[in-house]
Structure 1
Amino acid sequence: MAGRPPKPKPNAAAPEPQPDMGNRRATSYDVARLANVSQSSVSRAFTAGASISEDVRQRVMEVAAQLGYQPNAIARSLITRRSDLVGLMIGQSTNLNYPEVLFELSRRISAAGSRVLLFALESEAEIGATMEQLWRYQVDGVISAARLSPEQVEEFATRRVPLVLYNRVLPGCAVTAVSVDHADGERRLVDRLIKAGHQRFGLISGPPDSAVSVERMESALARLRHHGIVSVAQARGTYAYDSGRDAFSQLVADLGSPPEALICANDAMAIGAMDAARYHHKLSVPADVSIVGFDGAGASRWLSHELTTIRQPVRRMAEAAVQMLMERIETPEMEPETRLYAGELIQGRSARLG
């Protein structure tokens, strides 16, 4: 009959009414009901790499955006028994003087789907108290750029928390580690300085509790002894610029004159020593004194310094550290592994090399 509205099709599904949220947050159940999918489909839509059709995923995302829904990480961790947190322990001096390390590790941990729980240590001696905090947060794994004792490494194994040491190894201890080859870098620096004719050497080491400083300075001293040089003036710094400046003046006072060549445990102290030599002692670098560092930090490349140093392959090391950790989170029974990376000798204008 004319003017009569058509009857609805018998199989046409009425649109799902939008739930009345009131003041509460949307849940996966709300998204599933409005998108006409299962709750497991909602979960898969928000899980990278999960098996779900693009059509369903898109529908879930549209409804989630409409409701302002985001997955609850805490609820998810109760299901997966993972916190999706990676503990990152890093010395404050490393963080301040070499921020590329923290940036690269954080970026790659985030790309792997986890979040960083950062512990910046004023001193590496604080590691024990920091570990107590780690256990409370139930982290999935830890990357440590701070010194650990064999007993502390064993505690990680006892608690079944995967651990990767960054830029350090622990000889005789079964632990996964990634590091630049400190000994090789110092050998190359010493050999080139000796070849250039230097005979009177000075060293500026880092803090006594820094495993990296200890390994670098012991390696440099061993190589100097190999060349017949056993008397080496030494001063201690804190890894900071000011400490390198002050340590250089201390060496000059102790020796009565500047050394011919100065080996520093990191770049920041080497730059401080350069400025002390040039501006406080009116010396020419490298004509009067050759100065070398280690790390390849950003400031070492500034035109005012152009430091001769060993540059760490930070991106490759960070990628390897995160990859090795994630593999051991997925497969805890994997054997420990150590990867050493050769640093690149950067011949700047702060040292005469042969």
Structure 2
Amino acid sequence: MIVLRNVSKIFNARSGPVTAVDNVNLQVEQGQIYGIIGYSGAGKSTLIRLLNGLEKPTSGSVVVAGQDIAQASGEALRQARLKISMVFQHFNLLWSRTVSENIAFSLQIAGAPKAAIQRRVQELIELVGLNGKEQAYPSQLSGGQKQRVGIARALANSPDVLLCDEATSALDPQTTDAILDLLLDINRQLKLTIVLITHEMHVVRKICHRVAVMEAGRIVEEGEVLSVFTHPQQPITRQFVKQTTEYSSADTPFNADLVDAAAGAVLKLTFVGQSTRQPIVGELTLKYALPFNILHGKMTQTANGTFGELWLQVPASGSQLENILADLHAHAISTEVVKNV
């Protein structure tokens, strides 16, 4: 559906050339929800503007639904953009128009018949859950309702690709979850390809199938969300993953440095998928006749499945500890010895 090959974007600033996107290669399959995460200045917003043709790459190709957006111009680019819609962080609604009029706007520009516009607007109002708000103005809506209007408007022309640029950053956590549930529902119902730009790993964890991590214009890590969460390779990825795996500020975070190493080795176990349902600790306790002390644990749900982390302390060392680690490995559980006796 979307293929980027060796894409770079260089801006000419007064201080000299600035490379916003640096030799990016990326592939998004049809029907996927694909997350692109990075901090401010990473290049992710420039990348999304390359996807819809608002920016032309300095080099490389940007192919969306078989059309090279980088090479298209005039009528070809206009037609291509009709199939690539955008949802914005700050809604970008027309404040003098009602909900229905905002949703109808792009259809009116496209020259659709009035009766067809009315049918489509009503379909979309029902899809995004805005029944009863048809004649309301943006100033009368909550942030979540405004974003629902933005999503409905983006879907008006039945696009193949929906681009979301920090679509939940201006919303509170509860509203963010509701909007993410809506996007997930739209993806399932319409089989719509969604590319989601964000700096929040919670957004990626909740609905994305794959994720690319950007830093200084480059993609430094890419893969299935569950794999990236359980085995982050880059320091910046580990930093993002930490956002969603730590306890809230109201809880006391686990600190392995405070555990008395004399009481035994401290192990960090990472469970994925079916292994989260296996009674591994009980089996090890019976097999080795050792007290496995559970220090800390947490389960995390992603769009690809569940993973859990568990810290244990066990009075074992040498070959006995090696045997325990081998048993855990045989159950497809990743294990790290955080502290040894």
TM-score category (smaller protein): under 0.3
Higher relative contact order (CA 8 A, sep 6+): 2
Question: TM-score scaled by structure 1?
Answer: 0.26
Task: Indicate the structure with greater helix content.
Answer: 1
The TM-score, its normalising length taken from structure 2, stands at 0.26
Q: Find the structure with the greater CA-based Rg.
A: 1
